[in-house]
Amino acid sequence: MEKVVLVTGANSGIGLALCERLLSQDSGVRLCLACRNSGRAEAARSALLTSHPGARVDLLDLDVGSVRSVLRAAQEVKARYPRLDHLYLNAGIMPNPHVDIKAFFKGLFSSKAIQMFSTAEGLLTQQDRPTADGLQEVFTTNLFGHFLLVRELEALLCGAGPPSQVVWTSSSNALRSAFSLEDLQHAAGTEPYSSSKYASDLLSLALNRHHNAQGLFSSVICPGLVMTNLTYGILPSFLWTLLMPIMWFIRIFTNTLTLTPYNGAEALNWLFLQEPESLDARAKYHSMTSGLGKNYTQPRQMDIDEETSEALYGKLLELEKVIRRRIREGPDPTCDL
C-alpha cells in the first residue's frame, strides 16, 4: 500500500534532506512538500524528481505561521488523500537571533564548551512579533500552527488501517526554564524559540495520551547542531568559518554536532522505519554523528510531566476556540489571547 508522507518546511535543510532519504529507501512513498514559498518548493520538487524520476512528489501551499493558511491547506489535504501515514512537523523559525558574544567566547574556552554547542543555553535570545492573527509569530509557526494542522487532519490520521505517525522536530534548546503556562506565547520573554520547542515536547506527550487509542502516535526528535539557514543566521558568516574546524574537533567528544542536514535527518528517517506504537512517548530521539561520521539515533528521556502536558493541551484547545470564533465573526479586540 502506498504510504503518504507530509513534511512541513520541506523545501530546504533538514526537511528536504529527509525527503531525499525517504525516496532513496522507499521509492513507493508519496511525498507532500508543505511549504510557504512556492518557488523554493517547486525547486525542491524538481531536485527530488531529478534524482528519483519515478517518484510521486506533491506540493502544498502552507504557512504554519498563518491560521488561515493552515485551515485552507488542511482542506486541500483532506480532498487529496484518503489517509496520512506520516506527518512530519518540521517547519520552524528563529527570528532575529541575538547571541551573548561575551558569554559565547567565555564558554568556548571553558569546560562547558560542549554543553554550550549542544544546547545554546543562556546564549540565544530572539525578537518576536505578532502575526495578522494576533498571535506571537514563533509560537504560531513552531507550535500552534502545527497543533491546528494535526487537529484538522485527525480524520486522516486516526482512521482505519495501520497506525499513523506524527513527528515533531524539536531541539536540545527546548528548555523547561524558558516555558511558562502563564505566558504560553512567550510574549513577555526573550527565548520564544526555546519556549516553543519545549511546548512541542509537552504537546507530543498529550497527543499520545489522547489519540493512541485511535491509532495516532506522536514522537519528538532533535536533529543536533545542523548548519542550515536558521543556524547561519545566529552568527556572522566569518565567525562560522572560523568556528567550523573547532566544531569538527568537538564532535570527537560529543556526537550531537551532526552539522549537515543529511545527518540531522537521521532520527526522522529512523522513525519512519519503526512501528509507531513501539516507541517511547517520553523519549526525544536524537540524531547523532560520531567523530568518524557514523550516523545513529539515540533516545533520551525528556524533562516533561503529564500535568503540565495536559494543562498545555487544554490551553491550546481553548485558544483554538477563540481563533476559530475570530475567523467566523471577525477580529474582536476584547478577546484575550
Query: Would you please indicate which residues are annotated as catalytic (active-site) residues?
Result: 193
Judge contact between 142 and 95, C-beta under 8 A: no
CA dihedral 308, 313, 314, 317 (to 10 degrees): 160
Judge contact between 302 and 284, C-beta under 8 A: yes
CA max distance for the chain:
58
Q: Give the span between the Cα atoms of 21 and 41, in whole angstroms.
A: 17
Alpha helices, DSSP H, located in the chain: 13-25, 38-51, 67-80, 101-108, 113-119, 137-139, 145-152, 154-157, 192-211, 229-232, 237-250, 261-264, 266-272, 306-329
CA 206 to chain centre: 16
CA 191 to chain centre: 16
167 contacts: CB under 8 Å, gap ≥ 6 = 86, 87, 88, 89, 218, 219, 220, 221, 268, 271
Strand, helix or coil for residue 335? coil
